[in-house]
Amino acid sequence: MMQLPGLIDPHVHLREPGAIHKEDYDSGTSAALAGGVTLVLAMPNTKPPIFDAQTLDLALDSAKAKARCDYAQFLGAGPDNSDWASHPSLPGRSAGLKMYLDSTFGQLRLDDMSLWMPHFQQWPKSLPIVAHSESRSMAAAILFAAIYERPVHIAHISLKEEVLLIKAAKERGIHVTCEVCPHHLFLTKDDIPAISHGHPGRGEVRPRLATQVDVDALWANLDVIDCFATDHAPHTIAEKDSDNPPPGFPGLETILPLLLTAVDAGRLTLDDVLTRMVTNPRRIFNLPEQPETWVEVDENAAYEIKASESFTRCGWTPFEGWKVKGRVRKVVLRGQTAFEDGKIVVDAGYGKNIRG
Ligand code: DOR
Ligand code: ZN
């Protein structure tokens, strides 16, 4: 048995408010614990989106009643809510500011760069800005980090050109950090037929699955990658198989076994995983340590990933049937056993808002 610190996932979609048939703070934080994750940062592209004090309170009230692991909630950047200077206490109550600079799921989107500027000017430098920005818009986000002299964290990079540009930006002292999701490390677009089981919508995700050249470049430049994050984006199997499939993959329950299997295969070290799932996210997102918190993992337990055994409400996984090694047996969160032998044993509401 191996003991790890509680893992941090800085990028999850918990669908509350507005789409709790996909997930809510209860099911999503249960999935987190089952995956060895004790702290999640929740994205704001809900219905309504989380973009001001009122909507932040709406999400935090649900979280307070339902969360089983610790959490913080992002605010979303919109066209009309950039006057953060007039609401000085609001940013500090959030995980950070999420800016959608590309096409995504939901209503938060900033097409025009003049809409980015006041957010970069006014959002406090001590709190992160996270950018959903792909390819050339990512280059623009890095330029904004340089112009406004502030840190920017690039969500879910997936392309060779992206990891190479971030490397070059870091070498020049620009304050940019980034995360990669397991699906962009372990899958390419050639895997879409196998994921789809005849339903091509299951392969839809933003950023899209990329090529083997891109995946190889991510692995070859792991030192450029600051965090591993799931972008846990649950949509029900019926929605994924419909005529208008929403993009997104669940990931909270599969990230650790997938990475530990890669450790077992010698593709990276356990230390590489912990740096990217504990130390770096804690620093980048300014997160407190969780005292008396650990995860017990049977590193020799080999098993098959099955959606039917998961806590997420979405009912499917792109990794169905994958053989992995390393199973979470027990999670202790702030002195209390929260997950043991496949069961959640902590009450809804035990989870703490780390910005509260
Ligand atoms: O695949 C994705 N799903 N990409 C996004 O940008 C949003 C996310 C979601 O919320 O479903
Ligand atoms: Zn996301």
Residues 288-307 pLDDT 10s: 999 999 999 999 999 999 99
Q: Whose CA is nearest to atom 3 of ligand 1?
A: 248
**Considering Cα of 191, then 213, then 166, then 273, what sign does the dihedral take?**
positive
Mean pLDDT of 31-41: 99
Residue closest to 45 by CA, chosen among 97, 7, 9? 97
Q: Which ligand is nearest to the CA of 231?
A: 2
- Residue 281, preceding peptide bond in cis (omega within 30° of 0): no
Residue 111 has pLDDT above 80, yes or no: no
Helices marked H in 1-100: 25-34, 53-66
The amino acid sitting at 235 is H
Contact 329, 305 (CB under 8 A): no
Distance 349 CA to ligand 1 centre (A): 26
How far, in whole angstroms, is CA 169 from its chain's centroid?
A: 23
Give helix 53-66 / helix 25-34 axis angle, nearest 10°: 60
Residue 127 and residue 131: Cα distance in Å, rounded? 13
Residue 291 and residue 289: Cα distance in Å, rounded? 6
Distance 15 CA to ligand 1 centre (A): 11
How confident is the model at residue 121, as a pLDDT? 97
Ligand 1 contacts CB of residue 232 (under 6 A)? no
Contact 221, 173 (CB under 8 A): no
Query: From residue 227, how far is each of 29, 137, 194 by CA, in Å?
Result: 19, 20, 27
Please name the helix (run of DSSP H) or strand (run of DSSP E) that holds residue 271, with its range, or none: helix 270-274
- The per-residue pLDDT of the chain, averaged, comes to 97
Tokens 């998961």 label which residue?
Answer: 310
Radius of gyration of the chain (CA): 19
Ligand 1 contacts CB of residue 101 (under 6 A)? no
Percent of the chain beyond pLDDT 90?
96
How confident is the model at residue 104, as a pLDDT? 67
Residues 303-341 pLDDT 10s: 999 999 999 999 999 999 999 999 999 999 999 999 999
Classify residue 225 by burial, with Cβ atoms within 10 Å: 0-12, 13-18, 19+.
buried
Residues 44-72 pLDDT 10s: 999 999 999 999 999 999 999 999 999 99
Q: Is the pTM of this model over 0.75?
A: yes
Q: Architecture of domain 2-344 in CATH?
A: Alpha-Beta Barrel (3.20)
Distance 192 CA to ligand 1 centre (A): 17
Q: Whose CA is nearest to atom 7 of ligand 1?
A: 105
Residues 177-232 pLDDT 10s: 999 999 999 999 999 999 998 999 999 999 999 999 999 999 999 999 999 999 99
Q: Whose CA is nearest to atom 6 of ligand 1?
A: 104
Give helix 160-171 / helix 212-220 axis angle, nearest 10°: 30
- Region label for 74, one of left (φ > 0), alpha (ψ between -120 and 50) or beta (otherwise): beta
Ligand 1 contacts CB of residue 203 (under 6 A)? no
How confident is the model at residue 327, as a pLDDT? 98
The length of the chain in residues reads 356
Residue ranges covered by each domain of the chain: 2-344
Q: Which ligand is nearest to the CA of 233?
A: 1
Q: What does the block give as tokens for 301?
A: 């337990």
How confident is the model at residue 157, as a pLDDT? 98
Query: From residue 332, how far is each of 137, 335, 338 by CA, in Å?
Result: 40, 6, 6
Ligand 1 contacts CB of residue 239 (under 6 A)? no
